[in-house]
Chains A and B, each alone.
Chain A
Amino acid sequence: MPAFLELPRLAGSTPALALFVMVSVSPPVTVPAQEPEFYDRPYAENQWTYGRRMDESQLRYCVDRRDPDWEVASAIADAIALGLLLEPQRYVVESNIIFDDITKVYAVMLEHCDIHMGFKLIPQGYPDWITVTRPYYDAEYVFVAADLGIQALADLAPSRPIGATMGTSAHLRLVSYLSALPADDRWVTYPMGTSDLALQSLLEGKVDVALVWAPNFWIKQREDPVYDGLNVIDPAPLPPIVLGVGAILLSNETFLRAAIDEAIAALRADGTIADILDEYEFPARAAP
């Protein structure tokens, strides 16, 4: 037995830890808001120069060319604007940066748009300066394989690697499932920075299955025939991993948000959004 230095202050005894847990579950009275790091106070250059907008006959929306669905989202935003009897005004965010912190969208919205399309509805996933509309479509994370012998995730042998788009809701659900299995029954999960990198690893044979956002796989297959040989497989034994996608607004835009929610509900109900998805053969659903 090594003679360990005992660190006495908080760590040592089980009773002390139990006390910690007991105390921690009570909301601290002095804390008005519990904010993760990405709830960081947003900042935009010259932010104090942006006042109330005068032209209220337009719906200014942003789409980001880095999003696989940006053209589909544009069509949906146009339909939302028309539904509200507003003139749609599109701003396309152009950037080559792979990832941006969500706080950067603050400056984009201050300058260019009332709503920004393309955000997943994730519980507790947003800072309090953002509000999210109801979803205009629902899409899945999908498991993709190159080997035609793998028709379902259940066909994959234990210890074989899955390249999962790292930190996504789907990745978390996969890891939770695997953690509940005996070690010998698990697949190995390789976190991949992006859906593109996960699909690239699949093409290169470094993983047997890739877990990616279906719209990302859709755009890759539209743009490059090298992806034609890849197939979406049945997620069983996992259930389908579906997320709604909506638009974000600055949280003080409560009236506009209510109006957009009503418009989205109407456009889903009358089949307008479903028709747009069909037109693009986009892998999502917009049932009423």
Chain B
Amino acid sequence: MYKNLVRKSLFAATSVAAGLLATALVAQENPIDNISPVTDEMLLNPPDGDWLMWRRTYDGWGYSPLDQINKSNVGDLKLAWAWAMTPGRTQQTPLVHDGVMFVQNADHVIQALNAATGDLIWEYEYELPDGVRARGERNKAIYEDKLIVATRDAHLIAIDTKTGQLIWDKQVANHNFGYSFSAGPLVANGVVVQGMTGCGRGQPGGCFITGHDADTGAEIWRVNTIARGDSPEGNSWNGIPLESRHGASVWLAASYDPEQNLIFAGVGQPYPWISEMNGLLPVSADPNVTNDALYTNSTLAIDVTTGELKWYFQHLPSDSLDLDYAFERILIDLPVNGQERKTVVTAGKIGIIEAIDRVTGEWLWGVETVPQNVVLSIDPETGKKEINPEVIPRIGETTFNCPADPGGKSWQATAYSPRTGALYLPLVEFCSNTTPNPLDPGEVYTGGGRATFARVPVPDSDGNVGRVDAVKLSDQSTMWSYRQRPPVTSSTLPTAGGVVFVGSLDRKFLAFDDETGEILWSSGKLSNSLESFPVSYMVDGKQYVAITANFASGLGRLRQITPEVKLPANDPITVYVFALPD
């Protein structure tokens, strides 16, 4: 049963008690009264002061055009307000529209806050079924009068942005089979696009991306992320049948190119990770099959209206190390060999930045960042990677790979600044001694880790694990590289003010000079690790920067190699909002 437990307008409630005069006075201060529908035009060109989707714009840049906070004054940033969220892990991206911030707690209480003051406006509780672990979602979407939210039990729901009332609720898959959402949707050309995760042993066949009617939630189309049928793609699973194919999760929301009406989405690896377990090894003797395991670790270009798969590019075939290419796709027009190309740029967990022509799917270039020993070489024409055979896990053996499974670059998104032409990457440097483990300690309670990943520092490391790189995309040169001991744990946020914000495992929120990498500001120690997506917005002419503090596992697992970084035991979750003093 889903219910609106506490739908409040605090200001309105106050006004009833205080009389009509107070009603008029307070109502002016409540931004919910003036919240406007989010149109297609607004999503194509978001107001500078809003943050309407996961990476703010369809091109996935994660860039704020606000410049009130800039290099010269960022050092004066002060806490404007904070909001404690309910316990449980979340990696959420707050959305902001017309002065209202929308947040999703791990227990699926969704709240609207006054983005200038932090006051609660309304809240809606989506009741998760028994047995479904309460965890947050990485993003939400706003479209027209709806806040569209994905849930951990594989539903999509739409909530009225003004009232917090449920508009529709659509079950996309049965959570009993392991299906779950860890990120939310993108709304493009009126279609709600959502990627599925958790497609493991409970139900074979792999994950999928679905397109939904924004008015009803009804499914319009579905693209299976594991290739099927008698085709080169369908025959890329080492001869095992569909009943034995698992994985290909879609962990994060897509980007969108309105000119082509295409979305670009990343797909994760096969399950379980170890190739000898998932059937991709030993290699089949059948000459008509490969073990590339399409469309795992691929970029998919999909027509958002029809769901037609236009092209794909597989970055890492037959991944056995959980080094997937499942993260953000950034759309940038770049010069390549003297010619302007429309590209889609992404970086997988190996930390190699790659550019693909987003019209043709042609691979254009790649450049390394963190230390790695997985890819020996890349064909400059095709992008095909030569994989180091020594790093492929084998049953009964321990192998050594860099980076370790959480990735040199993980779900924490990179961001692109048109000011500098640079991509800002949150990175970590570490390795793993990897030993395959059986999954069956219990019949239903499984190991799930598929292997023991004993994470260790990079050989000859100077002890620094966390890193932020600024890479100029026109020539792939490194503008600057900042390194520190604690792992960097949040996405990056460059702004028109010339600063780049990023969070760290040691509870600090940092601001860099976007051109030099100099640290211009650091918050005090906050309540927890900063594993989330920072955003910036403006209300009544004042710029704010927000980030959610939480230890959400992920790169937080790197606490193993930075044991001196201590975090609170009860994992407090807090939204922090910073601004310049009045």
Q: Do A and B come from one complex?
A: yes
Q: Is the CB of A3 within 8 A of B454?
A: no
Question: Cβ of B89: which chain A residues have Cβ within 8 Å of it?
Answer: 43
Question: Cβ of A5: which chain B residues have Cβ within 8 Å of it?
Answer: 366, 377-380
Give A105 to B131 CA distance when docked, in angstroms: 11
Give A127 to B243 CA distance when docked, in angstroms: 31
Q: Is the CB of A102 within 8 A of B445?
A: yes
Contact A213:B443 (CB < 8 A) given known A166-B278, A184-B285: yes
Taking the complex as formed, is A183 at the interface, i.e. its CB lies under 8 A from any CB of chain B? yes
* Chain A 6-62 residues near chain B, CB threshold 8 A: 6-7, 9-12, 16-17, 19-21, 23-24, 28, 30-41, 43, 45-48
Q: Is the CB of A179 within 8 A of B443?
A: no
Taking the complex as formed, is A261 at the interface, i.e. its CB lies under 8 A from any CB of chain B? no
Question: Cβ of A46: which chain B residues have Cβ within 8 Å of it?
Answer: 87
Taking the complex as formed, is A120 at the interface, i.e. its CB lies under 8 A from any CB of chain B? yes
Taking the complex as formed, is A191 at the interface, i.e. its CB lies under 8 A from any CB of chain B? yes
Question: Cβ of B130: which chain A residues have Cβ within 8 Å of it?
Answer: 95
Taking the complex as formed, is A133 at the interface, i.e. its CB lies under 8 A from any CB of chain B? no
Distance in Å: Cβ of A64 to nearest Cβ of chain B: 6
Partner of B239, one of A36, A169, A188: A188
Count of chain B residues near A, Cβ 8 A: 91
| Secondary structure of the B contact surface, majority rule | loop
Q: Is the CB of B445 within 8 A of A175?
A: no
Q: Is the CB of A191 within 8 A of B178?
A: no
* Chain B 431-458 residues near chain A, CB threshold 8 A: 431, 433, 435-457
Tell me the number of A-to-B contacts counted with CB atoms below 8 Å.
Answer: 271
Contact A126:B381 (CB < 8 A) given known A34-B454, A95-B131: no
Contact A24:B442 (CB < 8 A) given known A43-B571, A166-B278: no
Contact A178:B444 (CB < 8 A) given known A35-B560, A95-B131, A167-B272: no
Give A33 to B178 CA distance when docked, in angstroms: 29
Give A167 to B436 CA distance when docked, in angstroms: 10
Give A100 to B175 CA distance when docked, in angstroms: 11
Give A97 to B454 CA distance when docked, in angstroms: 29
Partner of A125, one of B202, B284, B447: B447
Give A175 to B355 CA distance when docked, in angstroms: 38
Give A168 to B440 CA distance when docked, in angstroms: 5
Question: Cβ of B435: which chain A residues have Cβ within 8 Å of it?
Answer: 124
Please name the residue on chain A nearest to B459 by beta carbon: A23
Stretch at the interface among A192-200, A222-230, A249-257, A266-274: A192-200
Contact A175:B277 (CB < 8 A) given known A98-B178, A191-B244: yes
Instruction: Give 8 closest A-B pairs by Cβ, nearest first.
Output: A193-B201, A98-B202, A167-B439, A34-B454, A38-B449, A4-B377, A36-B449, A24-B400
User: A residues touching B (Cβ–Cβ < 8 Å)?
Assistant: 2-7, 9-12, 16-17, 19-21, 23-24, 28, 30-41, 43, 45-48, 64, 66-68, 95-102, 104-105, 118-120, 122, 124-126, 159, 163, 165-169, 171-172, 175-176, 178-179, 183-184, 186, 188-194, 197, 201, 206, 213, 215-216
23 interchain pairs, CB-CB under 8 A: A6-B377, A7-B352, A17-B388, A20-B402, A24-B433, A33-B560, A35-B560, A43-B88, A43-B571, A45-B87, A66-B443, A99-B200, A126-B441, A168-B439, A176-B276, A176-B396, A179-B276, A188-B239, A188-B284, A189-B279, A191-B279, A193-B202, A201-B243
